[in-house]
Structure 1
Amino acid sequence: MAIGKLFIGRKVRALREASRTTQAQFAERIGISTSYLNQIENNQRPVSASVLLALAEKFQISIGDLSSGEGDRLLSALSEALSDPLFETYTPSLQELKLVTQNAPGLAHALIAVHQAYRRNSEQLASFDDARGAALTETTPYEEVRDFFHFVDNYINDIDVWAERLAQALGIGEGDSHGLMSAYIERQHGVRIVRGAPDSDELRRYDPKSRILTLNPYAPAPTRDFQIALQIAQLHAGKEIDAVAAAAGFRTEEAYEICRIGLQNYFAGALLLPYQSFLVAARDLRHDLELLAARFGASLEQVCHRLSTLQRPGAKGIPIFFARIDRAGNITKRHSAAKLQFARFGAACPLWNVHQAFETPGRMIRQLAETPDGMRYLCLATQVTKGSGSFGTPRPSYAIALGCEISDAHSFIYADGLDMSNRAAFDPIGISCRICERTKCTSRAVPPLKRKLIVDHTVRGPLPYRIAD
Structure 2
Amino acid sequence: MPPRKVFAGARLRALRVQHRLTQGELAARLDISPSYVNQIESNQRPLTASVMLALADNFDLDLSSLATDASDRLVVDLREALADPVFGEAVPNLQELKSVASNAPDMARAVLALYEAYRKTNEKLAGMDAALSRDPQSGVTTAYEEVRDFFHYADNYIDPLDRAAEALAAELGEFGPDRLRRLIDYCAEMHNIRVVLSASVERDRLVVFDRANRDLWVNAHLEPASQFFQIGSVLCGLEQATLLDALLDGANFKAPEARAIARMGLANYFAGALHMPYGAFLKAADAYRFDIEELARVFGASLEQVAHRLSTMQRPREKGVPFFFARVDAAGTITKRHSATALQFARFGGACPLWNVHRAFEAHGRIIRQLAETPDGKQYLCLAWSYEKRVGGYRGVVRRYAYALGCEISHAGRLVYADDLDMAKAGFDPIGISCRICERRNCPQRAVPPLAASISVPADRRSVVPYEIG
The aligned residue for residue 86 of structure 1 is 86
3-state SS of the aligned residue for 1:136?
coil
Q: Tell me, yes or no, if the aligned pair for 1:195 and 1:215 is still in contact at 8 Å.
A: yes
The aligned residue for residue 247 of structure 2 is 244
What is the distance in 1 between the residues matched to 2:397 and 2:176? Answer: 34
What is the distance in 2 between the residues matched to 1:460 and 1:176? Answer: 64
1:378 partnered with 2:381:
yes
One-letter identity of the residue aligned with 1:224: Q
- 1:85 to partner: Cα distance: 0.8
* Identical-pair percentage: 52
One-letter identity of the residue aligned with 1:385: E
3-state SS of the aligned residue for 1:135?
coil
Q: Tell me, yes or no, if the aligned pair for 1:173 and 1:272 is still in contact at 8 Å.
A: no
Q: Tell me, yes or no, if the aligned pair for 2:6 and 2:66 is still in contact at 8 Å.
A: no
3-state SS of the aligned residue for 2:404?
strand
Q: Tell me, yes or no, if the aligned pair for 2:194 and 2:216 is still in contact at 8 Å.
A: yes
3-state SS of the aligned residue for 1:387?
strand
Cα distance change of structure 1 residues 408 and 81 upon mapping to structure 2, 3 Å threshold: same
Alignment partner of 1:267 out of 263, 266, 270: 270
What is the distance in 2 between the residues matched to 1:26 and 1:343? Answer: 39
What is the distance in 1 between the residues matched to 2:387 and 2:279? Answer: 27
What is the distance in 2 between the residues matched to 1:301 and 1:174? Answer: 19
Alignment partner of 1:429 out of 431, 455, 465: 431
- Count residues with an aligned counterpart: 467
Q: Tell me, yes or no, if the aligned pair for 2:385 and 2:403 is still in contact at 8 Å.
A: yes
1:124 partnered with 2:130:
no
Alignment partner of 1:406 out of 393, 409, 414: 409
Cα distance change of structure 1 residues 246 and 14 upon mapping to structure 2, 3 Å threshold: closer
Cα distance change of structure 1 residues 18 and 127 upon mapping to structure 2, 3 Å threshold: closer
The aligned residue for residue 187 of structure 2 is 185
What is the distance in 2 between the residues matched to 1:405 and 1:53? Answer: 28
The aligned residue for residue 213 of structure 2 is 210
The aligned residue for residue 257 of structure 1 is 260
Moved more, 237-246 or 287-296: 237-246
3-state SS of the aligned residue for 1:195?
strand
RMSD over aligned CA atoms reads 2.2
Moved more, 143-152 or 325-334: 143-152
| Residues 178-220 of structure 1 deviation map (CA, whole Å, 9 limit, x = unaligned) | 0221110011111112232347312211111221111222211
| Residues 104-138 of structure 1 deviation map (CA, whole Å, 9 limit, x = unaligned) | 22111111011011112223322289974753312
The aligned residue for residue 99 of structure 1 is 99
The aligned residue for residue 326 of structure 1 is 329
What is the distance in 1 between the residues matched to 2:94 and 2:452? Answer: 16
Cα distance change of structure 1 residues 19 and 227 upon mapping to structure 2, 3 Å threshold: closer
What is the distance in 1 between the residues matched to 2:273 and 2:453? Answer: 45
What is the distance in 2 between the residues matched to 1:131 and 1:320? Answer: 37
Q: Tell me, yes or no, if the aligned pair for 1:177 and 1:272 is still in contact at 8 Å.
A: no
- 1:46 to partner: Cα distance: 2.1
One-letter identity of the residue aligned with 2:178: D
3-state SS of the aligned residue for 1:395?
strand
What is the distance in 2 between the residues matched to 1:100 and 1:230? Answer: 38
What is the distance in 1 between the residues matched to 2:389 and 2:66? Answer: 40
3-state SS of the aligned residue for 1:123?
helix
Q: Tell me, yes or no, if the aligned pair for 1:173 and 1:277 is still in contact at 8 Å.
A: no
Q: Tell me, yes or no, if the aligned pair for 2:177 and 2:300 is still in contact at 8 Å.
A: no
- 1:336 to partner: Cα distance: 0.8
Q: TM-score, structure 1 length as denominator?
A: 0.93
Cα distance change of structure 1 residues 274 and 122 upon mapping to structure 2, 3 Å threshold: same
Q: Give structure 1 stretches of 5+ with no counterpart.
A: none
Q: Tell me, yes or no, if the aligned pair for 1:61 and 1:314 is still in contact at 8 Å.
A: no
- 1:340 to partner: Cα distance: 0.4
Give runs of aligned pairs for residues 54-65 of structure 1, distance below 5 A: 54-56=54-56, 59-65=59-65
- 1:284 to partner: Cα distance: 1.7
Q: Tell me, yes or no, if the aligned pair for 1:220 and 1:387 is still in contact at 8 Å.
A: no
Moved more, 277-286 or 318-327: 277-286
The aligned residue for residue 422 of structure 2 is 419
- 1:89 to partner: Cα distance: 2.6
What is the distance in 2 between the residues matched to 1:61 and 1:68? Answer: 13
What is the distance in 2 between the residues matched to 1:338 and 1:238? Answer: 31
- 1:5 to partner: Cα distance: 2.2
The aligned residue for residue 285 of structure 1 is 288
Alignment partner of 2:301 out of 295, 298, 303: 298
The aligned residue for residue 158 of structure 2 is 156
- 1:222 to partner: Cα distance: 0.7
3-state SS of the aligned residue for 1:256?
helix
What is the distance in 2 between the residues matched to 1:77 and 1:429? Answer: 17
The aligned residue for residue 137 of structure 1 is 139
Q: Tell me, yes or no, if the aligned pair for 1:172 and 1:272 is still in contact at 8 Å.
A: no
The aligned residue for residue 316 of structure 1 is 319
Cα distance change of structure 1 residues 133 and 304 upon mapping to structure 2, 3 Å threshold: closer
Cα distance change of structure 1 residues 444 and 179 upon mapping to structure 2, 3 Å threshold: same
- 1:145 to partner: Cα distance: 1.3
| Residues 133-174 of structure 1 deviation map (CA, whole Å, 9 limit, x = unaligned) | 753312111111111111121111221111111111222547
- 1:311 to partner: Cα distance: 1.5
Cα distance change of structure 1 residues 94 and 48 upon mapping to structure 2, 3 Å threshold: farther
The aligned residue for residue 369 of structure 2 is 366
Q: Give structure 2 stretches of 5+ with no counterpart.
A: none
3-state SS of the aligned residue for 1:257?
helix
| Residues 58-108 of structure 1 deviation map (CA, whole Å, 9 limit, x = unaligned) | 654333111112222222111211111111231212222122222222111
Q: Tell me, yes or no, if the aligned pair for 2:146 and 2:258 is still in contact at 8 Å.
A: yes
The aligned residue for residue 446 of structure 1 is 448
Cα distance change of structure 1 residues 95 and 163 upon mapping to structure 2, 3 Å threshold: same
What is the distance in 2 between the residues matched to 1:19 and 1:230? Answer: 33
Moved more, 454-463 or 35-44: 35-44
Q: Tell me, yes or no, if the aligned pair for 1:305 and 1:322 is still in contact at 8 Å.
A: yes
- 1:335 to partner: Cα distance: 1.0
Cα distance change of structure 1 residues 258 and 137 upon mapping to structure 2, 3 Å threshold: same
